[in-house]
Structure formats: C-alpha cells, structure tokens
Amino acid sequence: MNEQTQIENKANTSVLMIVLGAIIALMLYSIYLTGSLVANLSNVGLFGAMWDSALGGGATVHAMVLFVALIIGAAHLLNKAIGEKSQVIAKVISKLMKLPVSLVLIFLALWLGALGYGKFDTNVTGANLNGGGYVLELINVVSILYLTFFVKKV
C-alpha cells in the first residue's frame, strides 16, 4: 500500500469517527431529554428513565441510531484490521456492506424525519417524550444523511 493510500485511509477513518461521535452525542442528548422529562414526572432516577426510554419508550429510534453508529464504527475498525492482512478481502467486505449500511441509515433518517415532522406539525418545540423538539430531529436527520452520502463508512 503506497503512502497516498495510507493517508487517504487515515483521513477517512478520522472523518468517520468524528461524524459517528457527533451522531452518538446527538442521540445520547435526545435520549437524555426524554429520560430527564420522565425522571421529572415520575419517581425514577435519570439513568433508569433514560434506559427505559431508549429500550421501550419514546427514544427507541434514537437508541437504534446509536446502536447502528456503534456497529458502523466497529465494522470499520474490523475491516481496517482485516485490510492490513488481506486487502482483497477488505475491499470485498467494503463493497458488500456499502448498500445495506446505507439503506439502514436512510431508513432511520426517514423515521426520525417523520418524527420531526410530526413534532413540527403539532408545534412541539421543546423536550418531549420522543427525544426533543423538531429542530433537534432536523439536526439528527441531516447528520445521518451526511454520514450516508458523504462519508466512506466501511
């Protein structure tokens, strides 16, 4: 592998990790908003409320995006490790994973977009039981679409 390819791979990994970090932070913030509202309204601790909201409450979609972002990061690092041993296998894995990963991300972005539109249509602006207001959902959708179309993932 020549030096130019190594530099491009390091740059791709850096950009991917920055974007994934931003998406993870946004999803955790959305889960936090839901959990804090539940914790304020009930006699449950913040972490328990966040956990319950992420697993079966209004922040389930945000938890799915968080989980997918973690899987993409792990798959990228695994593929990078495989590429050090065999570049052919790494290229095949990369080509096979590109479409399914992009489709899952687009589906999740559409789902969050529908939630955001519902919040906009009903004039919800602040934190609610579905992961924040419509502006936060718009930011979530844009970040996921940026990851989908402009960042090399696997």
Mean pLDDT in consecutive groups of 10 residues from the start of the chain, 154 residues: 82 92 94 89 90 88 94 91 87 87 94 88 73 85 93 80
Predicted pLDDT at 43: 86
Residues 53 and 128: their CA atoms lie apart, in Å, by 11
Reading the block at residue 93, the tokens are 């894995």
Nearest residue to 32 via CA among 138, 128, 146, 135: 128
Say what the pTM is. Answer: 0.88
pLDDT on residue 126 = 66
Which phi and psi (to 5°) does residue 122 adopt?
A: -95, 5
DSSP letter (8 states) at residue 122: T
Distance CA 53, CA 138 (A): 20
State the Cα–Cα distance between residues 132 and 153, nearest whole angstrom.
Answer: 27
